[in-house]
Amino acid sequence: MTDRPAPSDRALAVAPDGALGATACIVLADGQVFYGRGFGAEGAAVAELCFNTAMTGYQEIMTDPSYAGQVVTFTFPHVGNVGVNPDDDEAADPVAAGMVVKWDPTEPANWRAAEPLSTWLARRGRIGVGGVDTRRLTRAIRLQGAPHAAIAHAPDGAFDLDDLLAQARAFPGLVGMDLARDVTCAQSYRWDEMRWAWPEGYVRREGPGRRVVAIDYGAKRNILRCLASAGCDVTVLPATATAEDVLALEPEGLFLSNGPGDPAATGVYAVPMIREVMERSRIPIFGICLGHQMLALAVGARTIKMNHGHHGANHPVKELATGKVEITSMNHGFTVDSQTLPAGVVETHVSLFDGSNCGIALTDRPVFSVQHHPEASPGPQDSFYLFERFVASMAA
């Protein structure tokens, strides 16, 4: 790494002696430059830089629509060693703008691998940077907040650092950015695929189920699989669906999915829909991640940007009613301000890392949401009971 190189010396700079062989770089908006070795697609991308502490699931993370507008730094060094395969995609294509890892990806050594990570990234137009001191980069993110960054992969090792720095500084940031529109489905569809199980893999749900409308703010496939496995007949609607669209399907329950961006920006059109559904019916509502934040905004709370967010598969969350601690997956850069929860809304879960809000529920109707991801993928499955609770509330 080099710290704040002089701008006049940076244009079309070749990596300095300390980074010989570098074919990629990361330029932070404050001027810091990290050199590494590129893999995947060539070119440049600009985004917010975050870190993820999960020990597995790099493919699921890269295809999680919640990572739109972000480059992911993986703190676990073994990334790429199991390759990639179509079954583990959480969306049709990678959504994260790029990835940063400590060790260069190796050839896959797993019977499920369909192709190497590098080949998959190149084919999908996503940049990877390896050989980076990810511990130092993670500390910088934690101390300074998630920075705006430009990443570049150039096989000849020549980089226009002035231009990359300008791009990083011009990036508007995620505050005020509605990204759900970019990752939502184009039209409604039915979902009946259930969770993966040995030896069959993915199987289809059969028979009648609870009619659930799922609003797609950037829904992960495994969330929809969990709903189907819990006994739901799922119809997915785009993020911009109206209350009329929802109620016309006569659902027994409404699900609000995960997604990227600033919840306040997405709430401009999502909150009125949720409020109208709540005014016109008493169907159970369940939200996850951005869906949790949408519900909080709909009942009158506020959301705030976090310093570096929560991204990983080892986050302890306490359920306040029982005192039970669950290890959960998380992926969010905004949080619900629990101090703004109105009367009739209670806090149900909190993070044991920083005390931030991780769940709410209404006291007078079966409406609840959580910040963490009970579907995991990747991560522990301690919180799957929440899907069953949602189904039980419809049965009641």
344: CB partners within 8 A, 6+ apart = 299, 362, 363, 364
User: Token digits for 80?
Assistant: 């790429």
Cβ 155 vs Cβ 21: under 8 Å: no
Amino acid at 313: A
Phi, psi of 148, rounded to the nearest 5 degrees:
-85, 135
How many Å apart are CA 316 and CA 334, to the nearest integer? 18
How many Å apart are CA 142 and CA 179, to the nearest integer? 24
Question: Which strands form 345-351's sheet, in the order they lie side by side?
Answer: 189-191, 232-238, 210-216, 253-256, 285-288, 367-370, 357-362, 345-351, 302-319, 325-337
Q: Which residues are catalytic?
A: 289, 373, 375
Cβ 300 vs Cβ 269: under 8 Å: no
How many Å apart are CA 390 and CA 124, to the nearest integer? 36
How many CA atoms within 13 Å lie on the side-chain side of 18?
8
